[in-house]
Chains A and B, each alone.
Chain A
Amino acid sequence: MDFKLDPADEAFRREVRAFLREHLPPDLAKRGASGFHPVRADQRRWQRTLYDRGWGAPNWPTQYGGTGWSHLRQFIFDEECALAGAPATDNGGLRMFAPVIYTYASDELKARLLPGILKGELYWGQGFSEPNAGSDLASLSARAIRDCDHYIVNGHKIWTTGAHTCDIIGLLVKTQPDAKQRGISFLCVEPGAAGITIRPIIDIGEAHSLNEVFFDNVRVPVSNLLGEENKGWTYAKAVLENERATSAEVPLNKRKLAQLRMIARQERSDGHRIIDLPGFAPRLAQLEVDLRALEWLTLRALTEKSEGTCLPYGSLLKVRGSELVQRIGELTIEALEQYGTYVYAEPGEDPDAKPVWPPGPDYAPGVTADFMYRRAATIYGGANEVQRSIIARSFLEL
């Protein structure tokens, strides 16, 4: 065993840091750290910058234009980016879908899809969930019927994050209505195709990232089928595993805890810093304890992943990481007191928007919107109850 970070990895961290200092524009960093949903234009701009540096796809192998970094380097990279306030890159495209594409898709589809993801020109939506297929995803009922060289798609998807600003949706459909998992196929569909209607869903942070997507006789070329027909469930499971791999969100949790520390030093009670109130610092310390434990659980998962893992790390990390982000949020809202209860409207997709906000310190806007949105952290990516069942069944054999 060796518990220390390689000096080469430390040097790598410094290199990333230096790059961020030089290339991350302050306006992007400010919006990136705000807590509002990421602005698509910012994400595209930042992805292009990373691409130009050769860092467009930290998790891909070099043959597809990735960096070929170890899991540990990816982790260091993500952490530095988050702490600097860099806009979130396309988690869907880069981390969830791309690995499935380069593992299972035809060469033609790879060539069509991967370069766009790398350059920030092809953003992904995940069209899996339906009103009646949430935790029980396999019971989905959207249908695709083959018609010569097209599929005709009908159905109703829900909770599709970013459907209104994405370029392509990874869609799960039934191609064999009677078979459950074995009748599912995976199609890549452009959200602008005729017959698609997108309806926004506003979340309890009064912000827009979620959508309902209706498919009414939408024609999708057969060449947009990923892998083989009726094998979609295999690909979907891989996508979901990729989603959970990063679901501890250690970088995000670190940024949020750093923000909480800053706020607790700024906010005052009759001149005294909130952090000096007798009950506050112990709770902050508790969050630090839980963050560090989560961080090292993540490091173990990343290291063992390279060596073939046995623990259901994804589920362990998902449960703890999502609960932690909620708890950090709670204490941050408390620290902000009345500013935690004011509505600071989401600026929306226009990076130059100048929203009129109620009074409050600079760091207030976005905190509550994010706190509200993160109630979903224990729901999305497979609800925590379902993760616990996975742990109990698959590992503990209960």
Chain B
Amino acid sequence: MDFRLTDEQEMLRDSARRFLEKECSLEQRRSAPTHGEFSGKRWTAFADMGWLAASLPEDCGGLGGDVVEAALIMEEFGRALVVDPFWGVGVLAAQTILAADREQARQLLPKLCAGELLPALAHHETQSRGVIEHVSLQARPAGKDAWTLHGHKTLVMGGNVANRFIVSARTAGGNRDRDGITLFMLDREAQGLKRQNVRLIDNRWAAELALDGVRVTSEHLLGEADQAYAALEHAHVHGLLTLCSEAVGVMERALWITRDYLRTRKQFGVTLNTFQALQHRMAEMLIELEVSRSVVYRAMAFLEMPSAERLAALSVTKARVGQSGRFICGQAIQLHGGIGVTEEYSIGHYFKRMTVIENELGSAQFHLEQLALRECAGPTPAVTAPHDSGAPT
């Protein structure tokens, strides 16, 4: 084991931190992105710095890194509370394309890496509740190699600016079957596609899509019909891991902002850091942060494992991170007092970002339930009867 970053990874992290501190401060994000516009200039900068390519293979225009690179970038995004749709486009959509069909990926991803193609993954539905295989949006056969799409998608991250939508549809089976899911690549202006942009409480934007008989043919297929589950799972694994990594950045920054505040704010003639109750709270926050970071590392170790193992590992991670994040960001507000609940000050935005993360790709509760199901399904271990517990007779 070696938990150190390589020199290249360290450079990536440092340059990301420098860039984001300069270009994506809370002040700057208050203006443009809060209105849902897209900073094309900044996106181009992301592309130029190789961030969109960092975790993609070379034959697809990438730089040949793996999920670690995206995770590092996302951690920095978390620290700075960046609102640009890097996760939606650069992780979820990009990884879906990569895993769906390598040939198509070779065509599409170089354009994504260059910042020209902006696909968004339209997979989540109101009743998915964290279940990856949940797809109820219907693809009804309409002649040979043709379908019409009927249904809704929600929380399409970056959907407000995306120029393509990767829509998951049910071509066979029931709502939660792994077989029978098909991906279609739709144009932003496709006929019968209605889009409503929604601002989230962390000032990122998503879209709700209503598809009312959108016509598609085999030309719109991404990957093979009925076989999209594996690609979606792959994208979710990357999505969850990078999301949790972002959460670590959120928690860490919230913790240190609070530490600095306690050292300067005075009440009763002394700075707040002198109160032991607050020192202990901060110590607890640090413990929560570091256990969370540890389960993110652990999830990395499980990435190449069989599906059930790696999903379980990610459930451990998402559950732990959700609980720690709520505690750390909630207490970060608490220790600030009144200033902490104002929109103008930064710390409340860390709490809001954590709240959204908690509600994305399954809550801590959902992931606990997945683990609980595994507990119940596991084999019964051999029981030693109490009377022959090994005690000398």
Contact = CB atoms under 8 A, between A and B. Distances in A.
Interface of A: 129, 132, 134-136, 139, 158-159, 201-204, 206, 210, 268-271, 274, 277-280, 283, 326, 330, 333-334, 337-338, 340-343, 358-359, 368, 371-373, 375-376, 378-380, 383-385, 388-389
Pick from A129, A283, A359 the residue with the most CB of B within 10 Å. A359
State the main secondary structure of chain B at its contact with A.
mixed
B277 A380 contact: no
Contacts of A202: 342-344
B129 A334 contact: no
Contact of A135 (B268, B334, B342, B359): B268
17 contacts: A136-B268, A139-B267, A158-B338, A201-B344, A202-B343, A203-B341, A206-B343, A269-B131, A270-B131, A334-B358, A343-B200, A358-B198, A372-B351, A375-B333, A375-B341, A379-B333, A383-B334
State the main secondary structure of chain A at its contact with B.
mixed
Given A136-B268, A342-B200, A333 B359 contact: yes
Contacts of A372: 201, 341, 348, 351-352
B343 A134 contact: no
Interface string B100-133: 0000000000000000000000001011110100
Given A341-B355, A376-B338, A334 B363 contact: yes
B338 A129 contact: yes
A368 B155 contact: no
A202 B269 CA distance: 29
B176 A136 contact: no
Nearest to B368: A279
A279 B277 CA distance: 32
Interface residues of B, number: 53
Given A338-B126, A359-B208, 4 more contacts: A203-B341, A333-B358, A341-B202, A389-B277
A378 B331 CA distance: 10
Contacts of B349: 204
A271 B127 contact: yes
A379 B134 contact: no
A357 B372 CA distance: 37
Contacts of B198: 342-343, 358-359
Interface in B310-347: 326, 330, 333-334, 337-338, 340-344
A263 B120 CA distance: 30
A341 B204 CA distance: 10
A371 B343 CA distance: 14
A136 B127 contact: no
Interface string B151-180: 000110000000000000000000110000
